[in-house]
Amino acid sequence: MRTILMAPERPTPVAQRSLGRSSGLDRMISIREVVRGAHEGNTRMASTSQSRGQASGNIVQFRPDRRGSMITPQNPQDTLPKRQTTFRWFKGQLIGKGTYGRVYLGMNATTGQFLAVKEVDINPKAAGGDKQKMEELVAGLDHEIDTMQHLDHVNIVQYLGCERKETSISIFLEYISGGSIGSCLHKHGKFEESIVAYLTRQTLSGLAYLHQEGILHRDLKADNILLDVDGTCKISGFGISKKTDNIYGNDKTNNMRGSVFWMAPEVIRSQCEGYSAKVDIWSLGCVVMEMFAGQRPWAKEEAVGAIYKIANGETPPIAEDIQGTLGPLAVAFMMDCFQV
């Protein structure tokens, strides 16, 4: 059984970096901002809950006509599911793009709250004319909505509602302005141990809440953990999560789902043994390694090679350039995560 050692509650001061290169100062300031205002988390959580409580009315997208006046659809309620809180909103700039959809910055017209609007095309063209694939896509979105609408935790990205149209489904989430841990690593490089400990503690808190609610995440990685400007991190990416009544008991109906380089051995061998929420703990260890190294686990392997090694009981190797810099507790934490 994998055991977890809790990291310190707050990081020690970030060490000064060399400013010899032109990007040094930018890097130091950016990393410091990751943890700036961390103790304001309780205030933020209360503010978010209040904003959620203010949402009312139908989901109506406002858009300006050529004269600058606001116009709205004639019958927006006809295509709405009845189970969610609804509101009026403005559509802003494109901030992300995926295989089947896009993410826009939006704004609640009543409260002024910024939103992340995940808009997914559900027309036949989006799936290359494959009707079955489109049905699976819609079912996956319904599952994601069903999972997220019941979650309420400071370290879980907050679901705010959804909107169904004839050719698209939009999911409204709280807007996290700092991007993902993955994008932060890409821009600024590896994190210092105090920062890793602080973010890991928050991720553990969110993950413990999910498991308490009977939810396997199944796709935990740096790209699916968002960072707010005050240092609060939030787990996102619930497209392949799963609800279960026996969170730590092996379920043979669990199939091979997730991102290869963060997968636990049980996931790869799932056809024989099944797996439980313990696979999220393995993935957490991979995220911790990712933050220390500034690159994904199994960085020298292609997907096929990583699958072979994981299936044969190997753990992600610690990058050579950080092997001598990690403290014993950091190494022990990752090794605990990688126990099978």
What is the C-alpha separation between 54 and 217, in angstroms, rounded?
29
Collapsing DSSP states into helix, strand and coil, what is residue 173? strand
| Distance in angstroms (rounded) separating the CA atoms of residues 303 and 238 | 22
- The DSSP secondary structure of 232-294, one letter per residue, reads -EEE---TT-EE-S-TTS-BTT--S-S-GGG--HHHHTHHHH-B-THHHHHHHHHHHHHHHHT
- Report strand pairing: 101-108 vs 70-71: unpaired
Provide the sign of the torsion angle of the four alpha carbons 103, 105, 109, 110, taken in this order: positive
Does 242 carry a binding-site annotation? no
Residues belonging to the binding site are 118
Q: Which residues are annotated as a binding site for ATP?
A: 118
